Structure 1
Amino acid sequence: MSCTSPTYMRLKGENLVYAVTICCSTGFLLFGFDIGYMGGLTTSTEFLNTFNNPTSSLLGFLISAYEVGALFGALAEFAVGDRCGRKTNNIVGIVIVTVGAIIQATSFGIAQFLVGRFTAGFGLGIVSTVIPIWLAECTLPKSRGRMMAMQLSNMLLGLIIATWLDYGVSFYSSSIQWRLPCAFQCVFAIIVLCLVPFLPESPRYLAATGQKDRAGYVLAALRGYPEDHPHVTFELQEINYAIAVESQEVGSWSDVFKDHGVSGWQRVLIACTANFFQQMSGVNISVGLSSHNALLVSGGLQVFYFLSSLIPWYVIDRVGRRRLFLLGSMGMGTCMLLSAIFVGIGTKSLGYAAIVVLYLFQTFFTLGWQSNMWIYPSELLPLKLRLRGGALSVVSQWLFTFVVVEITPVMIHNITYKSYVVFALFNFVTIPVVYFFFPETAGRPLEMVDLLFADRDGKRPPIFRVVRDSTNEKFVAEMELTLAERTKVREENERIVDEAKNDVEHFEKSV
């Protein structure tokens, strides 16, 4: 056995995983910045004058062009993303974002700015699809949630940076008031572009594309062991076993809509359903409450939102995905119900109470859904469908976001405070859906999740049984042993076959 472990940037093991997390977090920081900076631009005098004081509907169209671009970027990943590695997809997405930022920062007309917004959104659609998958496939099961929670905190930090940058440049009386925030996207993009080439590719992607030697090298670096260490060898064998099982029946993009031996469409549907319930939680309408209060409340909310996002760092891998989903939905539903009561009565004291409820809502949302949502599909989906299924879940998120943003103002105008009751009901309905249909994935090896959905006694288990078994620690331990045994059997069979082939070739040469 060799004594040295491969390194990237002189890093290995957990330090290397943290380096990947920092890179991914910077990508999500850019994500948050892009979402946030347009808020200040729409009230900038210089911005409005440059574009001949566009109407409110046209301003709304400029903002939504980003979401539309992100939707198409995720669709592009669904169509062609599996042809390239996680790193390549990330680089392509970041380059597109940079191009979009330059187009926006140099704009002198609505059409040019609109193209820039769409282009930047397209790039972020690619990045937001591939980053969670890249990170999930590099980390250890025990720390996947924490690593994802870290990068989501950075996304919120991006929102805060965007807000205060908008505030800072608002004191200037030139076009720097809006051009600098547009151009500032490039700062985060350049950091990501400088880091990605020096970091490892996903070992699971490498193994799935037949690059087994590189997969072993990368896995050894990520785990901090020599390439021939038993831990590295065994994990690589587990990955190869899962690939072999999937390759027997999975073969085309349409498998996300079929079963094909890996319960593909069920798992994709769960991932998309999770995105639906996240958006229908009312997070957008809750944030809207701050517009009725002082600017200080809005700024304080963002800081509180960020601080709340630190809690999942310590609980997400200990408590599990399902419990946090359930806790978040119960808390958000209760907050929405209280909001309906307080806003409906409308006294000054209850107005302050509504602000407190708004802060509590953000805590429950961050703890239950924001922290879970970006890692859960990556854990749930099988390797061959991970990118395509993940892309569909991101598409559904942007689509549902667009729908909620469109219908919320109409609801508030027509039924006022009763809108909060509608979103409260969505949160309460989410609870039984999660309880009966969302399997637990926290702390499970990605390859073991496949076994939860695999045939048992010649039959495919119903989703209720999969969910029940996923929460049974004794069953999970047995599944891990089963995976280990099947991996060893497959490896032994391959060794026998290889020896037989060598014997035949040797005999043929001797004859």
Structure 2
Amino acid sequence: MKIVCGTSFMMYGYDAGILGGLLLHPPFLSAIGNPTSTYTIPMITASYDLAACVTAVGIAFFTFSIGRRGTIIMGNIAAIIGSVIQASSYSVPQLIIGRLFTGFAIGAISSAVPTYLSETGTEIGDRGPANALNAALLISGVPLAYWIDFGFTKMYTQASWRVPVIFQCIFAISSGGAMWFLPDTPRWYYARNRWEEGDAVLARLNDAPVDSEQVQKTRTEILTAIEAELEANSSLHWKQFLTMGIIDNTRMKIIRRLCICFWLPMLREWMGSSLIAYYSSIILSSVTQPNLVSLIAGVLNTFFALGCFPLIFTIERTGRRSTLLYGAIAMSILITIFTILVAIPHSPTILWAAVAVIFIFMFVFGYAWQGAVWLYCAEIAPLEYRHIGGAATATGEWLMTFITVFAGPIGFEKVGWYFWLWVISGNVVAAVFVFLLCPETGGRTLEEVDYLFVGGGLTGLRKEFHGPEQEVGEKEKEVEMRERVDEGV
């Protein structure tokens, strides 16, 4: 399951980075008619992100019916179609249509894979490393695309850009084909009232009989969470979504949690993730020698991927909240230093210092925010609405990616280094957001996360540090609720 999900996400990263090394390649430009408009190249690049955003919104209405597994298979099929259309393109409209298909594919995959991984873990400590590995493979797809581009663009034939584009079919065929033989998650089966299938998958995941203590314990927790969320649904109303979670009358703060699923990935893109990955060649061209741009861009994206791997071994010890919070603070400082270095009069020393700072920034980004956001959003979404949480996560990700990827090259051309002030503000807002609104979800089962939000206060989060009497009172309420729901189950 980890390998199949990781392969899907590596295709996601590969597809995000593949055009970055081809945008200035003469055979590629010749094939699409050598466009001269300032907006053509950004539109080709960003059409993919726009399609992913629209897809993430649209599929929220039916992915609960087809399941996490079905959504991933559907995404891989669309990726194959989009890759073939792009690789055979001889015009801008055809290329954009191909990008729209792959955007649909990535919108589906990015909304379902993190949920699938989180819901198939058998131990509390499984979710963090699994999602961190998934994110590391995602980002590894970006430098892989850059290095393949780097090699193929030494040729000046049509194959030099068509082969790298069609190469992503290998990821889609292997991932989608293998997923066909895997089951969906036990939590999805239980939520769909398919008890026997849920029991069977839970037993296979735990490598134990259905009547074993571990399987029955997990089964009871899942059904308890479903019952508790159904009880909370009575106070759920769509109008509360218009307040973005500020007004939330649901007992478990369902709306606020889904809004967090939307805002966290949106903030990640505001912080400069895709902007730097997509346009690393353009960004580095202003701070280094032209003959070194492609080489350094490939190394930069490799550095970004390497930053994701330490998280696999540390996420369960450092926690999600601390990783996100301190990462955002460190990145705010680093991107501010980078902006100062590109704003002051240039010298070779200053330019190379700017390159060094952006390298460190991308390494910290890979470690602190790339994997932790996918993990946190998958954990915080309520079970009955986890498909909506996945869709909200993908929507926030791709909406801001579209905005930054479309506006990025235009901003660099029109306002120069001032555009980095927008990126700085994203990092600062992210740190404040995590500090105020994001409780720690590590060390808990997915079902226990529900009880973090049973409480009041400014943010609606449960207060975990109270006086003795108040703490005992809340514990008694939680135990009473669990016992009452258990009896119903």
Answer whether contact 2:227 2:485 (CA < 8 A) is retained.
no
- Does 1:433 pair with 2:425? no
1:45 corresponds to: 26
Structure-2 change in CA distance of 1:160 and 1:92 (3 Å) = same
Once the two structures are superposed, the pairs formed by residues 351-500 of structure 1 within 5 Å of their partners are: 351-409=351-409, 411-413=411-413, 415-454=415-454, 460-462=455-457, 464=459, 466=461, 468-469=463-464, 487=482, 489-494=484-489
Answer whether contact 1:96 1:120 (CA < 8 A) is retained.
yes
User: Counterpart amino acid of 2:319?
Assistant: G
User: Counterpart amino acid of 1:372?
Assistant: A
1:94 corresponds to: 76
1:334-391, Cα deviation, whole Å (9 max, x unpaired): 1112112222222321211111111111122112211211111110110111111221
Q: 1:410, CA displacement in angstroms? A: 5.1
CA–CA distance in structure 1, aligned partners of residues 465 and 104 of structure 2: 36
CA–CA distance in structure 2, aligned partners of residues 471 and 443 of structure 1: 20
1:164-208, Cα deviation, whole Å (9 max, x unpaired): 222222244432122212211210011112211222211100000
2:245 corresponds to: none
2:244 corresponds to: none
Query: What is the percent sequence identity of the aligned residues?
Result: 28
Structure-2 change in CA distance of 1:355 and 1:247 (3 Å) = same
SS of 1:174's equivalent in the other structure is: coil
2:3 corresponds to: 22
Structure-2 change in CA distance of 1:89 and 1:253 (3 Å) = farther
Answer whether contact 2:321 2:434 (CA < 8 A) is retained.
yes
- Point out the more displaced range, 309-318 or 388-397: 388-397
Answer whether contact 1:327 1:364 (CA < 8 A) is retained.
no
CA–CA distance in structure 2, aligned partners of residues 284 and 28 of structure 1: 15
CA–CA distance in structure 1, aligned partners of residues 69 and 414 of structure 2: 47
CA–CA distance in structure 2, aligned partners of residues 415 and 188 of structure 1: 39
- Does 1:134 pair with 2:128? no
Once the two structures are superposed, the pairs formed by residues 66-465 of structure 1 within 5 Å of their partners are: 66-139=48-121, 140-250=123-233, 254=238, 257=241, 259-284=249-274, 287=280, 289-292=283-286, 293=288, 294-295=292-293, 296-345=295-344, 346-409=346-409, 411-413=411-413, 415-454=415-454, 460-462=455-457, 464=459
1:34 corresponds to: 15
Answer whether contact 1:448 1:480 (CA < 8 A) is retained.
no
1:61 corresponds to: 43
User: Counterpart amino acid of 2:40?
Assistant: L
TM-score (norm 2): 0.88
1:506 corresponds to: none
CA–CA distance in structure 2, aligned partners of residues 309 and 403 of structure 1: 25
Answer whether contact 2:53 2:398 (CA < 8 A) is retained.
yes
Structure-2 change in CA distance of 1:259 and 1:386 (3 Å) = farther
**Cα RMSD (Å) of the superposition?**
2.7
Q: Larger C-alpha radius of gyration, 1 or 2? A: 1
Q: 1:162, CA displacement in angstroms? A: 1.2
SS of 2:35's equivalent in the other structure is: coil
Q: 1:46, CA displacement in angstroms? A: 2.0
1:69-118, Cα deviation, whole Å (9 max, x unpaired): 11122122212111111111111111111111112222333322221110
Structure-2 change in CA distance of 1:115 and 1:426 (3 Å) = closer
CA–CA distance in structure 1, aligned partners of residues 203 and 237 of structure 2: 31
SS of 2:224's equivalent in the other structure is: helix
Answer whether contact 2:305 2:363 (CA < 8 A) is retained.
no
SS of 2:168's equivalent in the other structure is: helix
Structure-2 change in CA distance of 1:327 and 1:35 (3 Å) = same
Answer whether contact 1:160 1:302 (CA < 8 A) is retained.
yes
Q: 1:492, CA displacement in angstroms? A: 4.1
Answer whether contact 2:153 2:160 (CA < 8 A) is retained.
yes
CA–CA distance in structure 2, aligned partners of residues 22 and 479 of structure 1: 41
CA–CA distance in structure 2, aligned partners of residues 275 and 414 of structure 1: 27
User: Counterpart amino acid of 2:61?
Assistant: A
Aligned residues: 468
TM-score (norm 1): 0.85
CA–CA distance in structure 2, aligned partners of residues 103 and 484 of structure 1: 57
Q: 1:402, CA displacement in angstroms? A: 1.8
Which segments of 5 or more consecutive residues in structure 1 lack a partner in the other structure?
1-19, 455-459, 495-511
SS of 1:198's equivalent in the other structure is: coil
1:317-349, Cα deviation, whole Å (9 max, x unpaired): 110111011111111111112112222222321
Structure-2 change in CA distance of 1:449 and 1:478 (3 Å) = farther
SS of 2:167's equivalent in the other structure is: helix
CA–CA distance in structure 2, aligned partners of residues 297 and 470 of structure 1: 48
CA–CA distance in structure 2, aligned partners of residues 95 and 101 of structure 1: 10
Answer whether contact 1:75 1:392 (CA < 8 A) is retained.
yes
Structure-2 change in CA distance of 1:151 and 1:188 (3 Å) = same
User: Counterpart amino acid of 2:45?
Assistant: I
User: Counterpart amino acid of 2:369?
Assistant: W
Q: 1:126, CA displacement in angstroms? A: 0.5
1:262-290, Cα deviation, whole Å (9 max, x unpaired): 31211112222212321222335554532
User: Counterpart amino acid of 1:70?
Assistant: A
SS of 1:302's equivalent in the other structure is: helix
Q: 1:464, CA displacement in angstroms? A: 4.0
CA–CA distance in structure 2, aligned partners of residues 481 and 173 of structure 1: 72
